[in-house]
Amino acid sequence: MTSRTGRHFLQIPGPTNVPDQVLRAMSAPTIDHRGPEFSALTLRLLDAIKPVFGTAGPVVIYPASGTGAWEAALVNTLSPGDRVLCFETGHFATLWRDMALSLGLEVDFVPGDWRHGTDPEAVAQRLAADHTHTVKAVCVVHNETSTGVTSRIAEIRRAIDASGHPALLLVDTISSLGSIDYRHDEWGVDVTVAGSQKGLMLPPGLSFNAVSRKALDASRTARLAKSFWDWQPV
């Protein structure tokens, strides 16, 4: 058996290796999570993180893995029975579909071969056929970690706009943010879902939603989150 010295440098899509600078910062003494130092730090971070998403709008940070930010994106913008349009680009798109179903959403799941990203033309066709605008959101995985397939988000936005459809655009950037060019505002994304443990090279456990004005407006009438509070155990 060969002995191995030095640090094991595991190269997988994530969790990625965390730089020493970050690891050292994590060994600092705990600060009071209700004290002024923590709120000042949080406010600074909420501002400083915006360029990473390419947004001037708000970014929400969750103490959850990326899956928690998926859930937040759905429950804060949609209501029970709303229809969402998803595309089978791989494993994670399929899991996102399953979550939408388990939350009580209706899902149009466009089959795919796991070798191609979401086709903007297919988005345009589906939305053009939805005359009564029952589709409330289009969910796209920017980079399918399971296959390396990437979807062209700017073109998908143009397809939505060209069909004159008001659906929100929700994008999973869990393995793309920090690794592949991404522009929340310029590409007209409504909710960008991200996680800490891949391109951002942080430990797992934090996740993010960058939100557009339109998504904030949708959250005012969304009832999916509220329906959990109304739920009573039998």
Ligand X SMILES: Cc1ncc(COP(=O)(O)O)c(C=O)c1O
Q: Which is nearer to ligand X, 120 or 195 (CB)?
A: 195
Which positions from 11 through 30 interact with ligand X, judged by CB under 6 A?
14
- Cβ neighbours of residue 90 under 8 Å, at least 6 residues apart? 112, 114, 141, 144, 145, 146, 147, 149
Applying CB under 6 A, which part among 17-25, 147-155, 156-164, 168-176 lies near ligand X?
168-176
Which positions from 176 through 215 interact with ligand X, judged by CB under 6 A?
195, 204
Question: Quick one: which of 194, 218, 225, 187 has its CA closest to 92?
Answer: 194
Q: What's at 116, amino acid-wise?
A: H
At closest approach, how far in Å is the CB of 42 from ligand X? 21
Is residue 150 close enough to count as binding ligand X by CB under 6 A?
A: no
Structure tokens at 205: 């456990």
Is residue 141 close enough to count as binding ligand X by CB under 6 A?
A: yes
- Cβ neighbours of residue 154 under 8 Å, at least 6 residues apart? 183, 186, 187, 188
C-alpha angle 17-20-21 in degrees, rounded to nearest 5: 120
Q: Which is nearer to ligand X, 90 or 120 (CB)?
A: 90
Applying CB under 6 A, which part among 30-38, 153-161, 167-175, 223-231 lies near ligand X?
167-175
Is residue 151 close enough to count as binding ligand X by CB under 6 A?
A: no
Which positions from 209 through 228 interact with ligand X, judged by CB under 6 A?
none
Q: Which is nearer to ligand X, 73 or 222 (CB)?
A: 73
